[in-house]
Amino acid sequence: EAGVVQSPRYKIIEKKQPVAFWCNPISGHNTLYWYRQNLGQGPELLIRYENEEAVDDSQLPKDRFSAERLKGVDSTLKIQPAELGDSAVYLCASSFQAGATDTQYFGPGTRLTVL
């Protein structure tokens, strides 16, 4: 079974440039998460989707971040414009449902460096 796929794996951009990350979850998983992991820290939730609906985006900086999950399958996270403080690893995860005991499966992440 294929795992969560993310691309690109690495991205280096200059500040004020736009950037986009793509995620394809495990087939059949209804719930998709985007997390941000700063160096030396644990991941922090940015947004959670159930099917195509964003049901928790309270931690997403909406002035510069946007996300979409068309047709309830793959998802794109965008930053425009990027700032130096956005340098981090962006993780996508999926789960079959969103219950408190459900296992989340993580992709390898996209490491973003903003110069």
Binding residues for another protein (CB under 8 A): 3-4, 31, 33, 40-45, 48, 55-56, 91, 93, 98-101, 103-109
Please state the closest distance from residue 14 (CB atom) to another protein, in A.
26
Please state the closest distance from residue 45 (CB atom) to another protein, in A.
4
Choice between 19 and 23, CB closer to another protein: 23
| Strand ranges, E, within the chain | 5-7, 10-13, 19-24, 31-37, 44-50, 53-56, 65-68, 75-79, 88-95, 105-106, 110-114
Choice between 44 and 68, CB closer to another protein: 44
Please state the closest distance from residue 75 (CB atom) to another protein, in A.
15
Please state the closest distance from residue 7 (CB atom) to another protein, in A.
13
Choice between 50 and 78, CB closer to another protein: 50
Choice between 56 and 81, CB closer to another protein: 56
93: left (phi over 0), alpha (psi -120 to 50) or beta: beta
Closest CA to 105 of 8, 35, 13, 57: 35
Helices (H), 24-94: none
